[in-house]
Amino acid sequence: MNIFSHFNDDDQGISRAGVILLLPFILLVTAYAVYKLFLIADPVVSGMEEFRFLPAEKTLHINGEHLKSISIHIMQEDQVKEILMDKPETGDKSYALTIKPKDLGLSDGAAKVFVHAKSGLLKEIKQAMDIQIDTVPPSLEVVRAPFQIYQGSGGFALLRAKDADSVFIKLDDIEFPAFKKSSGEEMQKPSSGDFNYDPLIASTKKNTVAADYFAFFAAPFEVTEGKTFYAIALDKAGNRSVRSLRTQLKTKKFRKSSISISDDFINAVVVPLLNTPDIQDPASAFKKVNEDWRRAALLELAKLTKQTEPSMLWKGRFLQLKNSKVMAEYGDIRTYTYRGKAISNSAHLGYDLASHANAPVGAANAGIVRFAANLSIYGETVIIDHGMGLMTLYGHLAAIAVEEGQQVSKGDIIGKSGSTGLAGGDHLHFGVVIHGYEISPLHWWDPGWVKINIEDHVQL
């Protein structure tokens, strides 16, 4: 027996056994290496566009996916400032970064932001983006605003701003856009509340001359006394200037009335609106139309009046329906009863004007027809845009004689009075609307009020 041959056989057996034992580990390591090198997902970083403009202070929200590491730096001339350096425990992470350029030693002007993110050995992204640092807020002055404004009324303000990209008046969470007066006496429509700027086309140069801005604003019916109106100017970067208007907001008492709802009214008006003759509970049916439909109509009205011409299309006082009698006023608080029991409430946000059946209805002032169709409880309705968010509403019409987009002059016939919608008889529901909020038309029928409060200041 050859002892060396025996040992050689044992060695070969041990070698083969070792290889077999190591094979799963080798395969696992190889698979892991392939995964890390080739199969792991690329890193994703979103939200970097928020760096485009940096004001005096800004909180940016950056989201990362499949991250192993991430770094963000801002470079300006020979300065490099670290904004973020992280190796997240999990691959997905969100960051809220508050940046104050002055605290970082950065100056106003051009800069670059760099992001470097890795998800694996061969998986990384590197991005560079031009940014603009602007820490100087726009200047803002309230040149003219009414001394006081009553609940359910409208006001007009003249503002002066420099380096502003958006100017508006704010009451709680309501914004009333202001419109820039150009040298050609035209108003330029401001940017919307959602600021989406393209840095490739946006000018970064500061204006050297202040511009005048005109703004119509409202004290909605639901407003409470003691609230403050603010004028606000914003620039591209998000810097803002805020000024309070010395306009005192006053509430007022409105008339209260009780209206009895009969079965005849339910059958003649409510049944056709609900489009069903099968009404088991007349009181609930009326409540649905009077309250649910009314809320929906007001929301729709707000949407319809978002689009407005950036110039003042009208002149002089607004016209009241010819030979008409006032049947109901703005703010009338109504309680409706059915068989002696109160079933619903509402506030009347316009004037009801009655003349004779199918009376011709003229445009209260010049403008562009923004809407001409059925509008829920208002019935057949025309809305005329007079520019800068000021509009008039004509409801319950029997017929409409104009089309959307049509230009009308003061007094042009736009339809006939009627009883469509939630109306008990032939009349015109006339409303003045400022940026979606119905206000009292009373002052707008007064030539003296229009001249003193608006026209004299538009000529400045």
**pLDDT tens digits along 372-406:** 999 999 999 999 999 999 999 999 999 999 999 99
Q: What is the CATH number of the domain that holds 161?
A: 2.60.40.10
- Same domain, yes or no, for 268 and 241? no
Name the residue range of residue 245's domain: 139-250
Residue 227 counted as domain residue: yes
Closest CA to 239 of 139, 96, 172: 139
- Distance between start and end Cα atoms, the chain: 122
Residue 24 counted as domain residue: no
Residue 16 counted as domain residue: no
Residue 53 counted as domain residue: yes
Contacts of 94 (CB under 8 A, 6+ apart): 61, 62, 63, 64
pLDDT of residue 342: 96
- Same domain, yes or no, for 246 and 279? no
pLDDT of residue 31: 54
Final residue before a domain boundary, out of 133, 154, 188 = 133
- Same domain, yes or no, for 180 and 264? no
- Same domain, yes or no, for 150 and 127? no
Final residue before a domain boundary, out of 226, 250, 274 = 250
- Same domain, yes or no, for 268 and 203? no
Q: What is the CATH number of the domain that holds 94?
A: 2.70.50.50
- Same domain, yes or no, for 96 and 143? no
pLDDT of residue 192: 39
Residue 404 counted as domain residue: yes
Q: What angle do CA 192, 198, 204 make, to 5 degrees?
A: 95
pLDDT of residue 460: 56
Residue spans of the chain under pLDDT 70: 1-39, 182-208, 460
Residue 60 counted as domain residue: yes
- Same domain, yes or no, for 87 and 153? no
Closest CA to 334 of 258, 419, 422: 258
- Same domain, yes or no, for 330 and 446? yes
Instruction: Compute how many other C-beta atoms are within 10 angstroms of the C-beta atom of residue 128.
Output: 11
Count of domains forming the chain: 3
Q: What is the pLDDT of residues 172-214, one digit of tens each?
A: 999 999 999 865 444 444 443 333 333 333 444 455 688 999 9
Residue 9 counted as domain residue: no
Residue 116 counted as domain residue: yes
Rounded distance between C-alpha atoms, residue 224 and residue 247, angstroms: 14
pLDDT of residue 19: 58
Q: What is the CATH number of the domain that holds 447?
A: 2.70.70.10
pLDDT of residue 28: 66
pLDDT of residue 187: 42
- Same domain, yes or no, for 242 and 263? no
Final residue before a domain boundary, out of 250, 283, 300 = 250
- Same domain, yes or no, for 300 and 387? yes
Q: pTM of this prediction?
A: 0.81
Rounded distance between C-alpha atoms, residue 97 and residue 219, angstroms: 38
- Same domain, yes or no, for 161 and 62? no
- Same domain, yes or no, for 377 and 453? yes
